[in-house]
Each structure stands twice: as structure tokens, then as C-alpha cells.
């Protein structure tokens, strides 16, 4: 079998240490997994021994490798083979050498699951020649299924082997797997999900004489082109679908509307919505109305949003909290605070989307203290804040975070000046800042997202508690509550983590 490249391998003892660490970690920190392993037919010690042999002797002659594997006296099962594949997720050679060894066992037969697992490993390592050979072997053994098509198309398209993507369907047809629209659609869905939508389109059009695409095929292509921001190609697929007599599914309609909204083509999105209201009113449901109301409120079109909301109410479609949260934000953005609070009071069980709409709207009106009071009420009602909640509040109290400067040294400058200030060298820091400004550089402001992320640990628990106390001493109660609450959340998370390890 032809192979493409040989990589320089790290030292064997490093790999053994990693495997030992993996198994010891599984047994010590994950008791449930450890108990499962002990009752499983796969013996961890045997697995470690076999993986070590495969790694150390992957380039050895076949008789020597097979002799060493037989001497390890492990029990060959499908689960054992899958575990070996999991141990080498990006290295095809040990997995394929072990596959060749299993071929010498007359009592062991591979299934579609084991072949697909090996196929996935070979595909990730980009050994296309071996990948194609294994795929044909699966076809000869009648072990190909829909998952095989998914793996094959993702690998071949990712390597730009587009002709082989088409040849795959012809080859499998020769092995008794007839041209299947279901396999094509699942493959196209996989390609579009991996942002390989141009490759998916090439495949569909090349196979058109053998597999006629349906509405699902076109819907996947439309959504794929929308995801990559290619609205022109999405529109072409839309027109082609209509010309061939397929009615666009509501998912495709919503995706087109959302993409138009995101690309600031607001009027075109509304025209599409109006066309749906005129021709297919019965197909419009909560998700479509929610989408339109959310974007109307984002653009401060709250009066139009209310018209759509009333239409939804007349059609007896119950609004969910996401829709109501968008409406609350839209009202606050227009300064209609009392109306926004009335909407919130009418919600029986407000969730985080409603509270976020309220907080975001109040912060836009520069009412940070009131937004913090909503934050407290949110906690009292048992609604747990998320990272985004804290970032919004910190930005509201302290100002929005800045962007990176044009010079890569800006980040170093910021740290350097901070170090001078911390060391008490204010004069030197001032002089350095003056020189920086003369260079025409913009020093970025604080990034709250990175700040909270880096201190989401045990050190952060103590730090947030101390910061909260000092802020409270100087009268900044709102900020103190936000920091202290975040510290409590981190402490609770650590306690839950420790409790899981101890049990």
C-alpha cells in the first residue's frame, strides 16, 4: 500500500508516560469511568501493553510485530480494537498495523463500526491513498453505511479530492450499494456542517445524472452558503430549487432571512417575510416570528415588532421568553421603561433571556445601578447568571472593552506600564506613556472576557472576595456585589468538582 509521508516520532518513553497518565487519570479522577473499565472486557493493562508495542514497533517487520502482540496475551474483541483506535486518534500507522494483525485471527471479524473507526483515524491523518484502499475494502465486504459516506466525503473534500468524492458513489454502486438520495443528503449535510459547501455543490451537480437532488439537498446547500456568508450562491440555490418545483422549507426561509438581517439587508429580509405571510401564512410559526421580532428590536423598530407580536398573538401562537426578552430590550432601547417592566411583570416564569434583555436595555440607557438591581433579583429568583451576564454588567459600570492596537508591542507596553505603576515608579510610567502616544499607538482598554476567564480558578475566588470588600469600603456596592457573586460561583464550582472526585 502506498503511503505519503513519514513523520519524526517522539521518544517512546514519552508516549508510554502519556498512556500511563491517561489510565491513572481515568482511574483516580473519574471513579465512574474506572468502575466501568474494571467491569469491561477490555483490560487496561493489556491495552496499555498493546498500544506501547504498536507505538514502539510500528515500523518493524510484520513477523516481529505480530510475535510481540501475540506474546502480550490480550483478548481481541471489537471493544478492544475501538480502544486502540481511540489511543491513536491522528496516527494511522499503529492502527492499520493492528488491523493487519487482526486479519490473522480466524475467529475475529470486523464490523461496520470497527471499520468506520479505523477509517476516521486514517482520514484525520490525511493518508488518502490508504484511506481509499480501506474504503474499497469495506465496499467489497459490504460493510459501508451512511456513516462511512459521511467520513469519506468529509475527508476527501477536506483534502480537495473532489473527483474522488464523485467516484466514491460510482465505486460503491459497483459493490452493490445503489445510488442513494439518503446517502447523498447526509453527505451534503456533513460537508456543509464543516463549511465545505462549495465541495458539496460540486458533488451534487456532478451526480445529478444518477441522483436527482430534492428539497432537502437544496435546503442543506442554502444553509451552508448562508453560514459562510455567500448570499449570492445561496440565492442561486434558492432559485434553482424553485425552478425544479420544490417548495423552500421553513428552515431554509429562516436561514435566508437571518443572513439578510446579519448582512444589513433589512428591507430584503422583510420582503421575504412579507412574501411568506402572503403565500404561506400557515407555515409561519414561533421560530419565524421570534427571528423577525428580535432583529426589529435590534434595529429599534419596536413599533413594527409590536405589530408582528400582535399578529402572532391573534394566531394563538404563544410567545416564549426569548421573544419577550427581545421585546423588553426593544422597549428599553426606545426609552419606554415602564412598558418594558409591565411586559416583564406579565411573564409567569422569566428566565435568563428575559433578564438579559432587561439588563442590556438598562445599560444602554446608562442605568447601571438599576441593571445591577435586576441582577440581584435574577439571583433571588434562582436564575443563575452566566459569563455574559457579568461581562455586560462590568462593561456598564466600567466602560466597554477596547480593541487591539495596530502595533503588536501595544500589549507589551500595557503590561510594562502596569508593572512600573505597581512598583511605584509613576514618573517613569508617565514618561513611557508619553513616548507611546507620540508613536501614535492606541493602548487597548481592559478585556473583561479574558479577565474573568483567567481568574476562574481558586486564585480568583480569593481575589474576587478581596476586591469586593475593598469596593464596598469605598462605596461601590454594585460593583462589589458583582465581583463577590462571581467569586462565590467559582468557589461553588470548585466544591462541586472536588465533591465529584472524592465520591
Instruction: Dump pLDDT digits (tens) for 199-248.
Output: 999 999 999 999 999 999 999 999 999 999 899 999 999 999 999 989 88
Nearest of 152, 277, 272 to residue 203 by alpha carbon = 152
Angle between helices 92-102 and 112-124 (to 10 degrees): 150
Report the C-alpha gap between 309 and 293 in whole angstroms.
7
* Max Cα–Cα distance, the chain, nearest Å: 82
**pTM of the entire predicted model:** 0.73
Helix (H) or strand (E) holding 98: helix 92-102
Report the C-alpha gap between 204 and 306 in whole angstroms.
42
19 is a domain residue: yes
Report the C-alpha gap between 324 and 184 in whole angstroms.
40
Q: In total, how many domains does the chain have?
A: 2
Q: Among 143, 164, 191, where does a domain finish?
A: 143
Phi-psi region of 67 (alpha: psi -120 to 50; beta: other; left: phi over 0): alpha
Any idea what the Cα angle at residue 112 is, between residues 217 and 209, rounded to 5°?
A: 30
259 is a domain residue: no
Q: Where are the alpha helices (DSSP H) in 244-380?
A: 250-262, 266-279, 286-298, 302-314, 321-333, 337-345, 352-364, 368-380
Q: Mapped to the 3 state alphabet, what secondary structure does 468-489 carry?
A: HHHHHHCCCHHHHHHHHHHHHH
Q: Among 98, 123, 143, where does a domain finish?
A: 143
Are 266 and 299 spatial neighbours (Cβ–Cβ below 8 Å)?
A: yes
Buried b (16+ CB within 10 A) or exposed e, 288-314: bbbbbbbbbbeeebbebbbebbeebee
CA distances from 372 to 292, 385, 390 (A): 29, 12, 10
Report the C-alpha gap between 118 and 134 in whole angstroms.
9
Report the C-alpha gap between 149 and 271 in whole angstroms.
39
Residues 6 or more apart whose CB falls under 8 angstroms from that of 55 comprise 12, 15, 16, 88, 94
Report the C-alpha gap between 8 and 139 in whole angstroms.
33
Grid cell for residue 321: 421568553
Residues 6 or more apart whose CB falls under 8 angstroms from that of 43 comprise 74, 75
**What is the reported pLDDT for 38?**
35
Q: What is the dihedral of CA 380, 382, 383, 384, to 10 degrees?
A: 100
**What is the reported pLDDT for 112?**
92
Grid cell for residue 303: 413599533
Residues 6 or more apart whose CB falls under 8 angstroms from that of 297 comprise 305, 326, 327, 329, 330, 333
Phi-psi region of 178 (alpha: psi -120 to 50; beta: other; left: phi over 0): beta
**What is the reported pLDDT for 2?**
37
168 is a domain residue: no
**What is the reported pLDDT for 410?**
47
488 is a domain residue: yes
**What is the reported pLDDT for 349?**
87
Nearest of 327, 270, 267 to residue 302 by alpha carbon = 327
Are 93 and 58 spatial neighbours (Cβ–Cβ below 8 Å)?
A: yes
**Regions in the chain scoring below 70 on pLDDT:** 1-40, 400-424, 426, 428-429, 431-447, 491-503
Three-class secondary structure of residue 91 per DSSP: coil
Helix (H) or strand (E) holding 53: helix 44-56
Residue 50's CB is within 10 A of a number of other CB atoms, namely: 23
Q: What is the dihedral of CA 136, 140, 145, 150, to 10 degrees?
A: 0
54 is a domain residue: yes
Report the C-alpha gap between 46 and 314 in whole angstroms.
67
State residue 144 phi and psi, 5-degree precision.
Answer: -75, 135
Are 53 and 19 spatial neighbours (Cβ–Cβ below 8 Å)?
A: no
Are 49 and 84 spatial neighbours (Cβ–Cβ below 8 Å)?
A: no
Grid cell for residue 295: 432583529
**What is the reported pLDDT for 387?**
86
**What is the reported pLDDT for 156?**
94
Residues 6 or more apart whose CB falls under 8 angstroms from that of 45 comprise none
- What range defines the domain where residue 425 resides? 410-502
Report the C-alpha gap between 149 and 168 in whole angstroms.
8
12 is a domain residue: yes
22 is a domain residue: yes
39 is a domain residue: yes
Nearest of 391, 392, 319 to residue 351 by alpha carbon = 319
Buried b (16+ CB within 10 A) or exposed e, 189-207: bbbbbbebbbbbbbbbebb
Q: Among 109, 143, 177, where does a domain finish?
A: 143
| Cα Rg of the chain (Å, integer) | 30
Are 199 and 212 spatial neighbours (Cβ–Cβ below 8 Å)?
A: no
Report the C-alpha gap between 344 and 325 in whole angstroms.
8
Amino acid at each position: 500500500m502506498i503511503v505519503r509521508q513519514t513523520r519524526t516520532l517522539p521518544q517512546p518513553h514519552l508516549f508510554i508516560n502519556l498512556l500511563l497518565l491517561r489510565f491513572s487519570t481515568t482511574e483516580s479522577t473519574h471513579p465512574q469511568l474506572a468502575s466501568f473499565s474494571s467491569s469491561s472486557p477490555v483490560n487496561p493493562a493489556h491495552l496499555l501493553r498493546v498500544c506501547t508495542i504498536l507505538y514502539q514497533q510500528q515500523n518493524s517487520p510484520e513477523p516481529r510485530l505480530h510475535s510481540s502482540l501475540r506474546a502480550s496475551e490480550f483478548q481481541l474483541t471489537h471493544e478492544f480494537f475501538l480502544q486502540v483506535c481511540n489511543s491513536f486518534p491522528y496516527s494511522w500507522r499503529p492502527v492499520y498495523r493492528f488491523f493487519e494483525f487482526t486479519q490473522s485471527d480466524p475467529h475475529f471479524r470486523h464490523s461496520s463500526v470497527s471499520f468506520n473507526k479505523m477509517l476516521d483515524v486514517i482520514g484525520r491523518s490525511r493518508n488518502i491513498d490508504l484511506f481509499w484502499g480501506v474504503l474499497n475494502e469495506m465496499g467489497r465486504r459490504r460493510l459501508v453505511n451512511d456513516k462511512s459516506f459521511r467520513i469519506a466525503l468529509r475527508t476527501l473534500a477536506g483534502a480537495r479530492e473532489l473527483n474522488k468524492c464523485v467516484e466514491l458513489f460510482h465505486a460503491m454502486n459497483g459493490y452493490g450499494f445503489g445510488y442513494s438520495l439518503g446517502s447523498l443528503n447526509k453527505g451534503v449535510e456533513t460537508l456543509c456542517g464543516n463549511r465545505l459547501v462549495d465541495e458539496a455543490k460540486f458533488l451534487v451537480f456532478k451526480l445529478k445524472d444518477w441522483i436527482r437532488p430534492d428539497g432537502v439537498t437544496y435546503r442543506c446547500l442554502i444553509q451552508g452558503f448562508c453560514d459562510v456568508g455567500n448570499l449570492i450562491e445561496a440565492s442561486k440555490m434558492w432559485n434553482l430549487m424553485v425552478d425544479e418545483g420544490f417548495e423552500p422549507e421553513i428552515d431554509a426561509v429562516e436561514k435566508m432571512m437571518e443572513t439578510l438581517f446579519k448582512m444589513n439587508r433589512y428591507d430584503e429580509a422583510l420582503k421575504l417575510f412579507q412574501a411568506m405571510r402572503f403565500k404561506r401564512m400557515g407555515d409561519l410559526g414561533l421560530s419565524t416570528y421570534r427571528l423577525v421580532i428580535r432583529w426589529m428590536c435590534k434595529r429599534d423598530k419596536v413599533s413594527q415588532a409590536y405589530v408582528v407580536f400582535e399578529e402572532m398573538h391573534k394566531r394563538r401562537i404563544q410567545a416564549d421568553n426569548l421573544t419577550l426578552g427581545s421585546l423588553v430590550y426593544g422597549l428599553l432601547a426606545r426609552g419606554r421603561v415602564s412598558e418594558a417592566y409591565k411586559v416583564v411583570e406579565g411573564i409567569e416564569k422569566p428566565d435568563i433571556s428575559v433578564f438579559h434583555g432587561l439588563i442590556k436595555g438598562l445599560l444602554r440607557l446608562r442605568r447601571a445601578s438599576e441593571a445591577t438591581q435586576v441582577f440581584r433579583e435574577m439571583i433571588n429568583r434562582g436564575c443563575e447568571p452566566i459569563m455574559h451576564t457579568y461581562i455586560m454588567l462590568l462593561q456598564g459600570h466600567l466602560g466597554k472593552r477596547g480593541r487591539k492596537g495596530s502595533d503588536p508591542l501595544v500589549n507589551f507596553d500595557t503590561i510594562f506600564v502596569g508593572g512600573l505603576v505597581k512598583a511605584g515608579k509613576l514618573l517613569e510610567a508617565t514618561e513611557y506613556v508619553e513616548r507611546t502616544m507620540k508613536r501614535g499607538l492606541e493602548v487597548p482598554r481592559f478585556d473583561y472576557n479574558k479577565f474573568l476567564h483567567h481568574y476562574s480558578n481558586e486564585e480568583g475566588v480569593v481575589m474576587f472576595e478581596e476586591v469586593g470588600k475593598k469596593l464596598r469600603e469605598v462605596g461601590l456596592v454594585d460593583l462589589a456585589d458583582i465581583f463577590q457573586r462571581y467569586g462565590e460561583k467559582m468557589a461553588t464550582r470548585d466544591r462541586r468538582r472536588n465533591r465529584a472526585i472524592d465520591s
